[in-house]
Structure 1
Amino acid sequence: MKKIIIAGIIVIAGVFTSCQEFEDDFLDAPAQSTLDESIIFSTPGLARGAVDGIMEPMGQTNSYRGRFIPFYGFNTDAEWNYSSDDVGSSQGDLCIYDAKPNNSQMNSSNNAWAMMYLGIERANICIRGLREFGNPEPGTELGQLLGEALTLRAVYYADLMKAWGDVPARFEPINSETIYLAKSNRDIIYKQIIADLGEASDLVAWPNETSSTTSVERVNKAFVKSFRARLAMIASGYQQYPDGVRRSNDPALSVQNMYTLALDEATDVIESGTAHLEPSFEDFWRSYNEENVSAGGESLWEIPFSAGRGRVLFSFAVRHRGVDQHTGQARGGIAGPLPTVFYDFDEDDTRRDVTCVPYQWGNPDADGFSVQELVGLDTWYFGKYRYEWMNRYVTSTNDDGVNKIYMRFAEVLLIAAEAANELQGPGAAAPYLKEVRMRAFPSELHAEKVDSYVDGLSSPQDMFNAIVKEHMYEFTGEMERKQNLIRWNLLGANLEEAKIKMFNLKNRTGEYADVPSTLYYKYEEDAETLEIYGLNRNEDVNPGPEYSAFEWTTIEDDMINSLFKLGVNPDDRQFWPIWQVFLDSSNGLLVNDYGY
């Protein structure tokens, strides 16, 4: 059964008060607690309630649920939000590298920034209480809980830094002297949370090792180590600092140190056998939509949402224009793959048709029955998210309850490949890249598409370029691409190239000269599923009178140019600005950098 994010059963010193309400009068008031911390954090059942409460802010409307998940990660060379071309749109501005501090989607006191710090405050209280009263040793339930609290705090900080860059560092519960803090250099925070995850990995159990780690809605050792590897790569990567785009100047965060750490952690997870790729890419995504949360497979950890929370499918699923046989929620489709992505895939890659969907579910008939309908060349949907693959019928008007995958095993393999390539060369990276591609291609093509392809990557630069491409093929639609482009120092260059490629596709020139301009379709026996001819390159002959023709050319210049705002260099806008409400309530200590 899916775990519901709920507040813990306790209230400790106002920890469930919004962090924007930490004013002097609050801090001077007597602490209100239903139980003493010494009892709470020495009693596993009570401590579990407190640690569960760390995640509760993620489910708030303006937090991960309705703002951070729908908008962070756009636009990239693989994904765009369909509000991008809406001139003056507060949603579009978040995606086209033109966000303002007063953005109406974000500039509220209960926004994701506030909810992340609320989660951090709860984590700080739990960490302090467990250390002081719980004797949290490895192998104990209280040790598991301390490891979870450390990890969840790291999740919040990791997401704060990827969205805003330098942010205030709070690693102790707020007191009257720390209400207002200036931003800290993010290197300090990265070093702290990487160390915290090292401690957490000694405390938490492997997937299915204990009753606490049987679900991907709980933190386990495979996730902690994998997440630590991810953060090591990010901390040593390129990113925008107030003085420009560069790597960290801190010797502790050097490429040599961090890539070595990342490779060690990734190979620990790989060799543990406690996580693995599912045999079929499509079956994995079907299982995800069916809400299989069993640990020990490909998904390492998921943000858990109840049926009345979460907007993953609500935002990103294949579009449904009405309430129909598959969903009681006419939603999905606020974003999708760039139209070039489908054609950049190898036609034999089984990930292509799962990732890129060229149709929507149209308006239902009088009986509530809808059918698939082709959409324009400029409008594709993420096929990883489908109401029609769910086991339950969503009835909520605002939420779908499907979890957000935070990290999966394929990323661990690509981290290992990238780190091994940097430290040891392409031969050491090859086995990890091959494992990802073996799942992507039918077994009869492995000799050509896996072995020959990977073995032909003879230089570290060739291997790196292949890993960058593989990441797109594997992760389009999961909004992990933007941060990776930043750390690779490829954000601006790849977005510029993406515009050029889309104009080439529109004009059927260059690498897209052989893309057909007409699609042909008919319906299968179920009367709802499209059978499409003409999607593949060079499929330009009418397959027969039973097919109907559909023009496959529409892609407007304004839409292409909306990938990022004209005149803006995305590398100068890698982060969102801190929202005005938080600047105004910071006692003058918070300021925006990066030219905002």
Structure 2
Amino acid sequence: MKHILIIYGILIAGLFTSCQETQGDFLDAPAKSTLDESLIFSTPGLARGAINGILEPMGQTNSYRGRFIPFYGFNTDAEYNYSSDDAGSSQGELMIYDTKPNNSQMNSTNNAWAMMYSGIERANIAIRGIRTYGNPEPGNELGQLLGEALTLRAIYYADLMKAWGDVPARFEPINSETIYLPKSSRDVIYKQIIADLGEAETLVPWPNESPETSTVETVNKAFIKSFRARLAMVASGYQQYPDGIHRSTDPDLSVANMYKLALDECRDVINSGKAHLEPSFKTLWEKYNQEDISAGGEPLWQIPFADGRGRVLFSFAVRHRSVDQYTGQGRGGIAGPLPTVFYDYDEADNRRDVTCVPYQWGTAVNGVSQQELVGLDTWYFGKYRYEWMTRYVTSTNDDGVNFMYMRYAEVLLIAAEAANELEGPAAAAPYLKQVRSRAFNAADQAQKVDAYVNSLSSKEAMFNAIVKEHMFEFTGEMVRKQSLIRWNLLKTNLDEAIAKMEDLKNRTGDYADVPTTLYYKYEADNETLDIYGLNRGENVDPGVEYSAKSWDALDDTMINSLYKSGVNPDDRQFWPIWQVFIDGSNGKLVNDYNY
């Protein structure tokens, strides 16, 4: 299915040829889609291809595939892109809150901005076509397809606003009057897509209630409700507007309204039983890397990539220095957890060793590589591992692994946050306990789950615990940055992370008992490391069979490049609109925020 989806989308994309042309070309060319819309959008099989075609722009090189997924979401108090300390790097400036409109990685006519609007135009045509020529109703196939189109359009808009703030609002196909549009208030767009998702959830079945919702590559009711809850929290949260950082002043997007909507949607999903946590955190990520796309579990929706598309592991996997027994690419490791994250976990938390990996796979000898310790300043996201795949990747720069767009653990934490605000910490506690329960073995749960959560007796204590839990659960999934922004904690937590790295470097404060020497040997397989000294207080030489490595170097350059010196990240919460689109907007588009 994952391969058919994109291929079929490309075949049907001829319907939307005009979407990929320039705006001028769109007006000059015949509107091919109008010749066939009455047939296409009244015939479920043909309409399915059109809906799949909405996804196709995500797979373009400079779109989600090679630019948005690898670069959006850095840097945070948990995640660091290793280009950040590369002076003058066009990639690096995307991470350190110093992006320029002419950034050479992004300033092209086929970049993510353009591809997102291409996807929106395809969705607009499909939505108009199904409403005009079909009979979309709950329970019929055209109703489901309309719900999918509304949801995919909402995804594109959500990501546009996540990266750029206010953007042009297009909810109808382009015509001669709408070819050039100024930016709209994001409040208007949030209200529209939240309403669209409210309609979509009435049209799209729960996971496994139709053949189309049997995989997480097609949106389902559980995802739509969960995504709607996420957007409600974002829309009512803090964010940078042209006149400063504040919550929305639109009463429709008030905390009271949006938190209630989010809590209601989350409780619908929780009570449905149509999604659930994977019992083991490690198993969740093993199944992800094995490309298990079954619906009804923890993953709610994934961006589907064919084998020759997508660079998730290529970008984020544990680093492989060469082609070896596990991968034909020899890639990964452009980013990783901050070095403090490993030590911020409770040692009994089973998410720690899945999330934070202190080694790479070295250069292969006779096709076989071994794990090699790196340095205290270099960690990799262990959620992404070629060695957990069942397919051997041979493409030079694409691994084909889907992107985890949203999973059920986020539903529980949104429910906890909203319940805490509206009903108090006792109402939030059961949701937080579910997330923590998976993280600890049964013997530890009385203390580390029940006693810990029960001690959170104030709204403030519960909120702070949720913010921390979010880091432990989602480091490496690139959802942290937007959450920090909506909590009004972006600069605050970045500065705290810098101070913590200084303490770790100097072995002071909370990091005074972190060892300065690691000891290692190889397991019987002669490729897997047995490491002693990672845990706090492990300072005794374990014996002559172990080799020693200094665990003391934390580069000041890294510490000082979480964001650019002299820049306030709260004044740079968004990327600028790229210059090529400013220049081509007929004077309609401008950059705010002093860009």
Range into which the TM-score falls when normalised by the shorter chain: over 0.9
* Aligned match of 1:421: 420
Q: Give the counterpart of 1:18 among 14, 17, 20.
A: 20
* Aligned match of 1:127: 127
* Aligned match of 1:489: 488
Cα separation, 1, equivalents of 2:445 and 2:13: 56
1:340 alignment partner, SS class: helix
Q: Deviations over 1:316-359 (max 9, x none)?
A: 00000000000000100000000000000000000000000000
Structure 1 residue ranges (4+ consecutive) displaced by more than 3 angstroms after TM superposition: 8-17
Deviation at 1:494, TM superposition (A): 0.3
* Aligned match of 2:251: 251
Matches within 5 A, 1:184-263: 184-263=184-263
* Aligned match of 1:175: 175
* Aligned match of 2:316: 316
Matches within 5 A, 1:420-499: 420-499=419-498
1:406 alignment partner, SS class: strand
Contact 1:248–1:254 under 8 Å retained in 2: yes
Deviation at 1:590, TM superposition (A): 0.3
Q: Deviations over 1:145-200 (max 9, x none)?
A: 00000000000000000000000000000001111000000000000000000000
Deviation at 1:102, TM superposition (A): 0.3
1:549 alignment partner, SS class: strand
Deviation at 1:12, TM superposition (A): 6.4
Contact 1:8–1:50 under 8 Å retained in 2: no
**Residues 149 and 531 (structure 1), Cα distance of their counterparts in 2 relative to 1, 3 Å cut:** same
Deviation at 1:99, TM superposition (A): 0.3
Deviation at 1:5, TM superposition (A): 1.5
Contact 2:126–2:149 under 8 Å retained in 1: yes
* Aligned match of 1:397: 396
Deviation at 1:28, TM superposition (A): 3.6
Cα separation, 1, equivalents of 2:19 and 2:146: 22
Q: Which amino acid aligns with 1:303?
A: I
* Aligned match of 1:37: 37
Contact 1:240–1:246 under 8 Å retained in 2: yes
Q: Which amino acid aligns with 1:573?
A: R
* Aligned match of 1:557: 556
Q: Which amino acid aligns with 2:77?
A: D
Q: Aligned pair count?
A: 593
Q: Does 1:504 align with 2:503?
A: yes
* Aligned match of 2:142: 142
Q: Which amino acid aligns with 1:438?
A: S
Cα separation, 2, equivalents of 1:168 and 1:100: 20
* Aligned match of 2:46: 46
* Aligned match of 2:299: 299
Contact 1:54–1:122 under 8 Å retained in 2: yes
Deviation at 1:532, TM superposition (A): 0.2
Cα separation, 1, equivalents of 2:37 and 2:441: 56
Contact 2:19–2:26 under 8 Å retained in 1: no
Cα separation, 1, equivalents of 2:492 and 2:558: 19
**Residues 176 and 14 (structure 1), Cα distance of their counterparts in 2 relative to 1, 3 Å cut:** farther
Cα separation, 1, equivalents of 2:111 and 2:518: 44
Deviation at 1:436, TM superposition (A): 0.2
* Aligned match of 2:411: 412
Cα separation, 2, equivalents of 1:64 and 1:160: 11
Gaps of 5+ in 2: none
Q: Deviations over 1:509-533 (max 9, x none)?
A: 0100000000000000000000000
Deviation at 1:16, TM superposition (A): 5.2
**Residues 8 and 319 (structure 1), Cα distance of their counterparts in 2 relative to 1, 3 Å cut:** closer
1:5 alignment partner, SS class: helix
Question: How high is the TM-score relative to the length of structure 1?
Answer: 0.98
Gaps of 5+ in 1: none
2:525 alignment partner, SS class: coil
Q: Which amino acid aligns with 2:220?
A: N
Moved more, 99-108 or 35-44: 35-44
* Aligned match of 1:161: 161
**Residues 475 and 40 (structure 1), Cα distance of their counterparts in 2 relative to 1, 3 Å cut:** same
* Aligned match of 1:532: 531
Contact 1:42–1:133 under 8 Å retained in 2: yes
Deviation at 1:422, TM superposition (A): 0.1
1:45 alignment partner, SS class: helix
* Aligned match of 2:387: 388
* Aligned match of 2:88: 88
Structure 1 vs Structure 2: percent identity of aligned residues? 77
Deviation at 1:10, TM superposition (A): 3.6
Q: Deviations over 1:32-56 (max 9, x none)?
A: 2496100000000000000000000
1:142 alignment partner, SS class: helix
Cα separation, 1, equivalents of 2:402 and 2:444: 34
* Aligned match of 1:516: 515
Deviation at 1:212, TM superposition (A): 1.1
Q: Which amino acid aligns with 1:400?
A: D
Question: How high is the TM-score relative to the length of structure 2?
Answer: 0.99
Cα separation, 2, equivalents of 1:490 and 1:248: 17
Deviation at 1:8, TM superposition (A): 4.9
Deviation at 1:11, TM superposition (A): 5.1
1:196 alignment partner, SS class: helix
Deviation at 1:17, TM superposition (A): 3.7
Contact 1:517–1:551 under 8 Å retained in 2: yes
Q: Which amino acid aligns with 1:251?
A: P
Cα separation, 2, equivalents of 1:295 and 1:13: 29
Deviation at 1:14, TM superposition (A): 4.5
Contact 2:76–2:481 under 8 Å retained in 1: yes
Contact 2:18–2:26 under 8 Å retained in 1: no
* Aligned match of 1:545: 544
Deviation at 1:559, TM superposition (A): 1.1
Q: Does 1:284 align with 2:298?
A: no
* Aligned match of 2:569: 570
* Aligned match of 1:372: 371
Q: Deviations over 1:519-576 (max 9, x none)?
A: 0000000000000000000001100100000000111111110000001110000000
Contact 2:519–2:541 under 8 Å retained in 1: yes
Q: Which amino acid aligns with 2:72?
A: Y
2:91 alignment partner, SS class: helix
Cα separation, 2, equivalents of 1:183 and 1:435: 41
Cα separation, 2, equivalents of 1:52 and 1:11: 9
Contact 2:18–2:29 under 8 Å retained in 1: no
Cα separation, 2, equivalents of 1:26 and 1:213: 34
2:6 alignment partner, SS class: coil
Deviation at 1:94, TM superposition (A): 0.1
Aligned residues: CA RMSD? 1.0
Cα separation, 1, equivalents of 2:150 and 2:231: 14
Q: Deviations over 1:231-258 (max 9, x none)?
A: 0000000000000000000000000000
Cα separation, 2, equivalents of 1:331 and 1:5: 24
Contact 2:163–2:574 under 8 Å retained in 1: yes
Deviation at 1:13, TM superposition (A): 6.5
